[in-house]
Amino acid sequence: MNVASASKSKGSLLVLGASRYQLEVIHKAKALGYRVLTVDNVPANPGHRAADESFDVDTTDIPRVVELAKRKAPRGVVAPCTDVAVTTAAHVAEALGLPGVPPASARTLTSKVLFRQFLLEAGIRVPEFRVVGAGDVDEAPPIPFGFPMIVKPDGSSGSKGIFIVRDRDELRARLPETLSFSPTKRGVVEELIDGVQGTCEGVVVDGEIVLSLVTDRRTAPAPFVVTAGHFVPSRLDERARDKTVALIGEVLAKHGVRTSPFDCDFVVDRSGEPWLLELTPRLGGNSLTRLVREALGVDLAEVAIRLACGEDPQLPRDVSVTPTAQLILGVRRPGRLRFDQAEVAALRGEPWVRDLTMDYREGDPVEAFINGRTRVGEATLSADSRDALDARAAELEARLGLDVAASDG
């Protein structure tokens, strides 16, 4: 346990997770006057150093985290930017009488298997799917729909173990890795919906969606599907956006999620119909809070903290969208990272580059960008129009010249 000095506060906030994506919530909570307690089983994660008190506990260990919470009596609990701790946060909230979501709903909404079964039983459109497990590894299971398809692990996040597969041999080869990322050792194989990928970040308060922002989601080249960027305003038409938000509201209502931030990945097919792929009651990862702050002027980290602690989230009534992109940078193959260092410095001086962060130095060994753990940096861009935004994203990528040299040995 690490204890840092802290001034008088409004009470404590329990933050489940201490990686780079939880840092914004940790810093914001301290700025709001809360004493921050972090729970994460990786002692080196940066959130632990930023917290007032930290605990080396796995965020999925529900009994231990609940026992810890009972001892520390936080005013609120959050599991920002990660699916794996959402159910634990719900159990803490229930045990301590704090604002939160029903534990059973948290479990369903963070399980790819249970979520798809729920959609099917509720009569909500869902891709054709089959649940797979360890018994299907030696021989590719029979699938009642055609290739290409997508295979996903149950209970994982950050696009780890998710692959597009185009034939039975590829399915057989990918399945063991997919299941290795699942704590339940299960996964789903589902049809690949042809359409436009999107994400919706938002807030529901007292059963009403009071804020939503639909993004165009860019992904890495197949067979991977990791998020490579978000762009707003979305190029989807208003009807498709409204139908997506309405469907999200319907699902949240059926699960009794009345007050919470939410993060949803979806695809809109060629007929304009939305299909929900993931919907979790938490802040989105991949620096989506920064995107929302730049695009709408709304601090979702602060909103999530206030909601968790029973405060008024103080959301604006009317917002307009500033064209903004949040890029997640990566390379297509492993090796030693190469980029134009002079251009990094120059780009940081451009008024349209709101932020440019490199996670590694030139020459450092890096992995191929296949999931959220293997990014090499991020950038936030702004523009006067969506067309100009797309052009600036292309300019930044060209000037950076991200690539790798072959690793030694």
- What is the structure's pLDDT at 408? 56
Q: DSSP label at 134?
A: G
Residue 8 confidence (pLDDT) above 60 = no
Q: Tokens at residue 382, please? A: 């702004």
Residues 247-283 pLDDT 10s: 999 999 999 999 999 999 999 999 999 999 999 999 9
Q: How far is CA 359 from CA 22, 214, 292, 297, 366, in A?
A: 16, 27, 22, 26, 10
All structural domains of the chain: 2-98 (3.40.50.20), 128-191 (3.30.1490.20), 195-405 (3.30.470.20)
Q: Which two tokens stand for residue 224?
A: 């991977």
What percent of the chain is modeled with pLDDT above 70?
Answer: 97
Distance set, CA 72 to CA 66, 69, 280, 388 (Å): 10, 5, 26, 50
Residue 375: its pLDDT value, please?
A: 95
- Residue 7: pLDDT band by 50, 70, 90 thresholds? very low
* Confidence class for position 2, pLDDT limits 50, 70, 90: very low
Between the alpha carbon of residue 269 and those of residues 192, 229, 290, the distances in Å are 11, 20, 28
Residue 140 in this model has a pLDDT that exceeds 90? no
Q: Indicate whether 239 pLDDT > 50.
A: yes
Q: Look at residue 138 in the predicted model and tell me its pLDDT.
A: 72
- The residue among 93, 55, 100, 54 whose CA lies nearest residue 74 is 93
Task: Determine the pLDDT at residue 9.
Answer: 62
Amino acid letter, 106: A
Distance separating alpha carbons of residues 396 and 203, to the nearest angstrom:
31
From the number of C-beta atoms within 10 Å of its C-beta (0-12, 13-18, 19+), residue 142 rates as exposed
CA distances from 39 to 30, 77, 262, 289 (A): 16, 11, 21, 21
- Reported as a single tens digit per residue, the pLDDT across 218-238 is 999 999 999 999 999 999 999
* Comparison of pLDDT for 370 and 139, the residue scoring more: 370
Give the pLDDT confidence score for residue 137 in this predicted structure. 74
What kind and span of H or E run contains 257?
none
Q: How far apart are CA 251 and CA 156, in angstroms?
A: 21
Distance between CA atoms of 336 and 324, rounded to whole angstroms? Answer: 30
Predicted confidence at residue 158, as pLDDT, reads 76
Neighbour tally for 219: CB within 10 Å: 17
